[in-house]
Amino acid sequence: MPRRLANPFSSSQSAMSASEKTGERRLSSSKTNRLSQLFSSSPKSKDQAAMHQSQMSTISPSTVSLPTISLSTATGESNTVEPTTTLFKPQSAEEVERRQRVEAQFGPLLSPEHLYTSQAAGKPFERPIEDEAPYYYLLTTYLSYLALILFGHVRDFFGKRFGDRKRYQPLKIHNGFAPLNDDFDSFYTRRLKTRLDDCFARTTVGVPGRFITLKDRKSDDYNYTYRYTGTYTETLNMSSYNYLGFAQSEGPCADAVEECVKKYGATFASPRADSGTSDLALEVEREIASFVGKPDAMVFSMGYVTNSSTFPALVSKGCLIISDELNHASIRIGARLSGAVIQSFKHNDMGHLERVLREAISQGQPRTHRPWKKILLVVEGLYSMEGTMVNLPGILELKRKYKFYLFIDEAHSIGALGPHGRGVCDYYGVDTSEVDILMGTLTKSFGANGGYIAAEKHIIDKLRSTNASTIFGEAPAPSVLMQILASLKLINGDICPGQGEERLKRIAFNSRYLRLGLKRLGMIVTGHDDSPIIPVLLYNPGKMPAFSRQMLARKISVVVVGYPATPLISSRARFCVSAAHNKDDLDRMLIACDEVADLLQLKYSTGIAGGLDPLPEGVAPEDEAEWRKNTGTPIKAPRWKVEDVIRRGVVDCKLPLR
Amino acid sequence: MEFDTLQVRFGEIAHVVSSNFQKLPGSAMLARYIQSSYQNDPVRSAIELILVLFFIRYLMSPSYSTHKQNFVKLREGEIEELIDEWTPEPLVADQTLIEEIENEKLPVIVGPTGPKVKLSNGRTAINLASYNFYNFNANDQIKEKAIQTLRTYGVGPCGPPQFYGTQDVHEKAEADISSFLGTEACIVYAQTFSTVSSVIPSFCKRGDVIIADAAANYSIRKGLQISRSNIRWFKHGDMGDLEKVMKSVVNEQAKSGKLTRRFVVTEGLFETTGDVTDLPRLVELKEKYKFRIILDETWSFGVLGRTGRGLTEAQNVDPQQVDMIIGSLSGPLCAGGGFCAGSKDVIVHQRITSSAYTYSAALPAMLAMTASESVKLLQSNPDVLVQCRENIRALRAQLDPRSDWVVCTSSLDNPILLLALKPEVIKARRLTVDDQEKILMECVEESLANGVMITRLKTRPYANAMGAKDGDWTLQPSLKVCVTSALSKKDIEKAGITIRHAITKIMTRKSANKTI
């Protein structure tokens, strides 16, 4: 009887199960972990203290969140809970285990206060203020790269002559074959990335939900090869694009998928244009179209291909693609394949975009000065490396004047933004008819795979016959389609009413809470306040592996990114917040970040980008600038104590962030 | 007060600088030289100063011209006018008639795919249009494994392989495939269609040379296009011509003294013609002229050879001699995604340079597990291949020799029978490619009306693809009939007769003759 889950002891049991988990984790903890614990105050004890504190401060959280936390509502059972029958009945071991598994994928909501609606507050679009680190860090970053490059070249020079023959063979002419990799091309990979290779492609097991289980591995030869130690580590998952927490192996979606596999098998074994079009695919397309607010839509089996095959179908020679400089690689590949001329504009810079547009339209095509056939502006809704959102209102204003077509890649924003999870248009309250083409992936928020294109019916009809991946590429698998369908219905409230809304509100709260917390700790965080992608700048390349390993030692998995995915100097760690996290998880994250930031000197924000100390009584946030002028209070660099961050976070993150 | 200290400070600095300058060897000489040369010559000083300034400006300016050469300077008013006047074409052109019919007539399957499918119009048809050659899709063992995987991994991996998207099931699938094929390593992509078009540009860069078969499929062409390499073509399946092209490339490079990477790109079974590559000869040529082979086995993996290992097994070639083997997991294997197998260096290199791998989410765990399972099934139960081949023979016997109108271009073991109109028919009726397309489309419809679903090789996308205009090879519109081992020989024969009759009916119709 899953109904038993909703008993008033659930929160204390969740604490208990968490401590049990930590016990397990200790067993598998590695040496580095113990060492780091020696040097830092133990994260575990703080963790539990924080958990305890949160329980004290909220009024019987379990009863309040009763209808929403339990995934048991998903099974469609009636919701009449009889507390007297379940109150004192001890749970069977099986039940406890099942609940632990469910909660490892999707954390229970601790308090109804931990909800927020993601929505533009009606203010004009503001570019997030970019904070800058002191010159010392910039200088040392350049010096680090210089040292890496020098050492790399010296090692290459001697390695090719005296080094291990097998390792250097791909770089040399061998048996009349030119080297497979240019040593220049692969220099970065071999000499820089190999050093931090253990932070990438960590093998995982099981569901990438609230927690993610890593297969422990070790390298005896400086990351050339790995061997598995046979142990596993369960870590807090701040890395997966699991925005709405649909990475689950239990619950309504998984049940629907299981039924679907039983009925449909694993595949349609054919492209859409041959015999891969099924009733299921059409239903999913209808559902997606109505979800994003467009008349028609089509699905693809891969997000990357959605972009790379749609551009050639939309534009050709004689057309112009104007693309944000930070657009994703799939857009660039698609644009290149299309044969159109490509121009980029500075990230989110409307002034620059307008200059580019004016020049493009007035000058026409290069050399011939013929007018462009059409101009397609390509932007992303939410940028995956920066956490910034597109300035949609600004673009639409330009669109009215300059008559270009607008293509928005909502790979990260669909599901993650907007009061209904319908992406940037929903977030800004913009009518979707103003955007010509909405593209998105189904990998991220929906826990499935693939991508979609939504547009007017005549556009989709034409694309069906001209898009190469519809004609030659495999149709999406039935299981994937069903996952999309079930998760969309859940978000819409068609099944398990309330659960979808809760997920949307949780990710909005979590994003703001963690972002504000990190800013208050003094770290430099980029991006918009409501974005669930939270990049923290690290600068020095050496800090990338250090940060990742330190977080791993604290049982948190994070993504670190450096050149070439980012500009050379701004290496960063990127946290992806999910609706599956609850406040305890974020507090654990904040505590860990606080420790690691102290260890690695990451607190260098100046305060101009937010996270400031609270204003004194009687000063409203709007009057802050005036107050500062009158009293001569300068902006102080924020260096909050982590206890204060956690104490004030819930209330403050719902106010305009400052 | 403050000014005074500043002055003192400045004096100190000046003093330190001058004393240090004097300490440098040869500094006195330099100072004397400058002094003497500028003493009486203000003009020279001015000119040299200008030179220095120009030099600095030159250093600071960007190395390329910021404005296109024929930039026309316009006044603001003119620009506004041009902007007002400019009217873009519609985002997409109108659908052509044939596209409209195609969209309308596209069969929609209700329920699972299999040897017999239910269509949305309520009828049931024999399905000879999907790559479900061995009907692994209905295999309960595979289904059960898929559900087990679902219950431990969920559906999507929610991230690209480099960022926690690699799951142990992917590694297992990779290991299973590479040990099945007999290569050192393997990498699994999330979609077949994008695999080869991403593998090619991850190795072939600007300046490298690629020799490709003239009949290469669409994905390969897209890969060639992205790679920006030097592309040469050889006549479809003609190893003699390939050798000629190889020789000329080698000679050119020997003359210029520049050795670049050189590749041959071809397919195991061709998507567009259905015939097979002579791999032993290709390997011989590769060794002789030092080319690397990229072999697209999308249509031959799981099909050719005793256990379905593909072309290498069928023609007894050591798979390690082929540098990259690309295959599909979404066809007969009934899973999803594609793979590239090869040596360890080749695979490791792709993991960060192949864009479809790094920039896309990993394959869902269920599909990776399904792939492992179906590879295992093929290995343990090669009888399905035998059965499938019998059906191929049976169907072929009904179509190729007995039809007056079509000829089958596929190789004998290929379960995809490509039926093109006979050259003499095309010649006699003077059919253009569009006419042929139309006729074949009607054949497909007619056949479906009689309860057998088949499909066509789509040729339209190739019109804009790279290389289509080079050489004398043109893509032949064909019917595509896919055999499945799940049907009995009798059913297959019956289906074959239906297709044959459908073709005859369309070809002998009055209106068909009228269009001549």
pLDDT digits (tens, 9 = 90+) for A493-522: 998 889 999 999 999 999 999 999 999 999
Quote the tokens at residue A348: 């989110």
Say what the pLDDT of residue A16 is: 42
pLDDT digits (tens, 9 = 90+) for B355-410: 999 999 999 999 999 999 999 999 999 999 999 999 999 999 999 888 889 999 99
pLDDT digits (tens, 9 = 90+) for B202-235: 999 988 999 999 999 999 999 999 999 999 999 9
Of B82, B156, B218, the CB nearest to A449: B156
Residue A126 has pLDDT above 90, yes or no: no
- Among candidates A35, A557, A386, A207, which has minimal Cα distance to B152? A207
B97-127+382-514 CATH:
3.90.1150.10
Say what the pLDDT of residue B510 is: 61
Burial string for A196-226 (b: 16+ CB within 10 Å, else e) reads: bbbbbbbbbbbbbbbbbbbbbeeeeeebeeb
Using a CB-CB distance cutoff of 8 angstroms, which residues of chain A are in contact with residue B143?
Answer: 261-262, 265-266
- Helix count and strand count (H, E) for chain B: 20, 15
pTM beyond 0.90: the answer is no
CB contact under 8 A, B193 and A404: no
Task: Work out the angle at residue A15's Cα, subtended by the Cα atoms of residues A9 and A18, and round it to the nearest 5 degrees.
Answer: 135
> Do β-strands A375-380 and A204-205 pair in parallel, antiparallel, or remain unpaired?
unpaired
B184 near B178, Cβ under 8 Å? yes
> Do β-strands A320-324 and A405-409 pair in parallel, antiparallel, or remain unpaired?
unpaired
Higher pLDDT, A22 or A528: A528
Tokens 């046979």 appear where?
A230
Dihedrals φ, ψ of B372, to 5°? -55, -45
CB contact under 8 A, B83 and A361: yes
CB contact under 8 A, A267 and B93: no
CB contact under 8 A, B331 and A176: no
Q: CA A211, CA B461: separation in Å to the nearest integer?
A: 45
Q: Chain A 535-554, CB below 8 Å of chain B: which residues?
A: none
Q: Cis ω on the peptide bond leading into residue A564 (within 30° of 0)?
A: yes
What ipTM is given for this predicted complex? 0.87
What proportions of chain A, in percent to the nearest 5, are helix, strand and coil?
45, 15, 40
Q: CA A409, CA A328: separation in Å to the nearest integer?
A: 9
Residue A6 has pLDDT above 50, yes or no: no
End-to-end CA distance of chain B: 105
How many contacts (CB atoms, under 8 Å) link A and B? Answer: 364
Residue B79 has pLDDT above 60, yes or no: yes
Of A253, A254, A264, the CB nearest to B151: A254
Say what the pLDDT of residue A623 is: 82
Tell me how close the Cα of A284 comes to any Cα of chain B, in angstroms. 14
Residue B451 burial (CB < 10 Å; 0-12/13-18/19+)? middle
Using a CB-CB distance cutoff of 8 angstroms, which residues of chain B are in contact with residue A177?
Answer: 261, 290, 292
Rounded alpha-carbon distances, angstroms, from residue B492 to A203, A274, B396: 46, 19, 10
Quote the tokens at residue A569: 């100097």
Residue B486 has pLDDT above 50, yes or no: yes
pLDDT digits (tens, 9 = 90+) for A527-537: 999 999 999 99
Say what the pLDDT of residue B472 is: 65
The stretch B254-268 carries a mean pLDDT of: 92
Residue A457 has pLDDT above 90, yes or no: yes
CATH superfamily assigned to domain A2-120+500-652: Aspartate Aminotransferase, domain 1 (3.90.1150.10)
Residue A194 burial (CB < 10 Å; 0-12/13-18/19+)? middle
Say what the pLDDT of residue B460 is: 86
Residue B468's pLDDT band (cuts 50, 70, 90): low
CB atoms within 10 A of CB A28: 15
Quote the tokens at residue A113: 């206060």
Using a CB-CB distance cutoff of 8 angstroms, which residues of chain A are in contact with residue B112?
Answer: 263-265, 478
Residue B69's pLDDT band (cuts 50, 70, 90): low
DSSP string, A184-214: TTTHIIIIIIGGGGGGSS--EES--SSEEEE
Tell me how close the Cα of A196 comes to any Cα of chain B, in angstroms. 12
Q: CA B318, CA A315: separation in Å to the nearest integer?
A: 44
Residue B470's pLDDT band (cuts 50, 70, 90): low
| Per-domain boundaries in chain A | 2-120+500-652, 288-474
Q: CA A61, CA A70: separation in Å to the nearest integer?
A: 13
CB contact under 8 A, A458 and B94: yes
- Rounded percentage of chain A residues whose pLDDT exceeds 90: 65
Using a CB-CB distance cutoff of 8 angstroms, which residues of chain B are in contact with residue A405?
Answer: 88, 91
Of B147, B158, B217, the CB nearest to A241: B158
HEC assignment per residue over A106-133: CCCCCCCCCCCCCCCCCCCCCCCCCCCC
B229 near B191, Cβ under 8 Å? no
Of B107, B137, B455, the CB nearest to A269: B137
Sign of CA dihedral B66, B68, B72, B78: negative
B253 to chain A, any CB pair closer than 8 A? The answer is no
Of A430-439, A529-538, A639-648, B67-76, minimum mean pLDDT range: B67-76
Residue B512 has pLDDT above 80, yes or no: no
Fold of B139-380: Aspartate Aminotransferase; domain 2 (3.40.640)
Say what the pLDDT of residue A474 is: 92
Please name the residues in contact with A653: beta carbons below 8 A apart, sequence gap of 6 or more: A116, A509, A512, A513, A515, A516, A517
Q: CA B501, CA B479: separation in Å to the nearest integer?
A: 14
B394 to chain A, any CB pair closer than 8 A? The answer is no
Tell me how close the Cα of B515 comes to any Cα of chain A, in angstroms. 25
Q: Chain B 27-56, CB below 8 Å of chain A: which residues?
A: none
Of A337, A436, A469, the CB nearest to B226: A337
Q: CA B121, CA A222: separation in Å to the nearest integer?
A: 62
CB contact under 8 A, B143 and A261: yes
Q: CA A128, CA A527: separation in Å to the nearest integer?
A: 6
Say what the pLDDT of residue A86 is: 52
A265 near B113, Cβ under 8 Å? yes
Residue A81 has pLDDT above 60, yes or no: no
Q: CA B269, CA B301: separation in Å to the nearest integer?
A: 9
Segments of chain B assigned to CATH 3.90.1150.10 = 97-127+382-514
- Rounded percentage of chain B residues whose pLDDT exceeds 70: 96
pLDDT digits (tens, 9 = 90+) for A320-362: 999 999 999 999 999 999 999 999 999 999 999 999 999 999 9
Please name the residues in contact with A251: beta carbons below 8 A apart, sequence gap of 6 or more: A71, A74, A102, A106
Quote the tokens at residue A9: 């002891």
B102 to chain A, any CB pair closer than 8 A? The answer is yes
Q: Over chain B, what is the mean pLDDT?
A: 90
The stretch B294-322 carries a mean pLDDT of: 94
Tokens 């695919």 appear where?
A281
Say what the pLDDT of residue B414 is: 94
A590 near A516, Cβ under 8 Å? no
Segments of chain B assigned to CATH 3.40.640.10 = 139-380
DSSP H stretches of helix in A7-59:
10-28, 31-39, 43-57
Using a CB-CB distance cutoff of 8 angstroms, which residues of chain A are in contact with residue B72?
Answer: 363, 369
Of B132, B193, B259, the CB nearest to A305: B193
- Nearest residue in B to A470, CA atom: B193
Residue A17 has pLDDT above 50, yes or no: no
Residue B444 has pLDDT above 90, yes or no: yes
A460 near A296, Cβ under 8 Å? yes
Residue B122, Ramachandran bin (φ over 0: left; ψ between -120 and 50: alpha; else beta): left
Of A278-282, A471-475, B19-23, B186-190, minimum mean pLDDT range: B19-23
Say what the pLDDT of residue A48 is: 46
CB atoms within 10 A of CB A321: 27
CB contact under 8 A, B155 and A465: no
B163 near B187, Cβ under 8 Å? no
CB contact under 8 A, B191 and A478: no
pLDDT digits (tens, 9 = 90+) for A29-65: 444 444 444 444 444 444 444 444 444 443 333 433 3
Q: CA A572, CA A543: separation in Å to the nearest integer?
A: 9
Using a CB-CB distance cutoff of 8 angstroms, which residues of chain A are in contact with residue B70?
Answer: 367, 369
Tell me how close the Cα of A277 comes to any Cα of chain B, in angstroms. 5
Residue A613's pLDDT band (cuts 50, 70, 90): confident
Q: CA B266, CA B262: separation in Å to the nearest integer?
A: 13
pLDDT digits (tens, 9 = 90+) for B328-367: 999 899 999 999 999 998 999 999 899 999 999 999 999 9
pLDDT digits (tens, 9 = 90+) for B424-435: 999 999 988 888
The stretch A487-492 carries a mean pLDDT of: 94
B20 near B27, Cβ under 8 Å? no
What proportions of chain B, in percent to the nearest 5, are helix, strand and coil?
50, 15, 35
A241 to chain B, any CB pair closer than 8 A? The answer is yes
Rounded alpha-carbon distances, angstroms, from residue A486 to A138, B147, B335: 48, 16, 21
Say what the pLDDT of residue A643 is: 94
CB contact under 8 A, A269 and B334: yes
Of A266, A282, A464, the CB nearest to B334: A266
Please name the residues in contact with A325: beta carbons below 8 A apart, sequence gap of 6 or more: A344, A345, A346, A347
Query: Domain A288-474: which CATH class?
Result: alpha beta
A497 near A476, Cβ under 8 Å? no
- Nearest residue in B to A333, CA atom: B226
Say what the pLDDT of residue A78 is: 45
Quote the tokens at residue B434: 């569009």
> Do β-strands A211-218 and A204-205 pair in parallel, antiparallel, or remain unpaired?
antiparallel
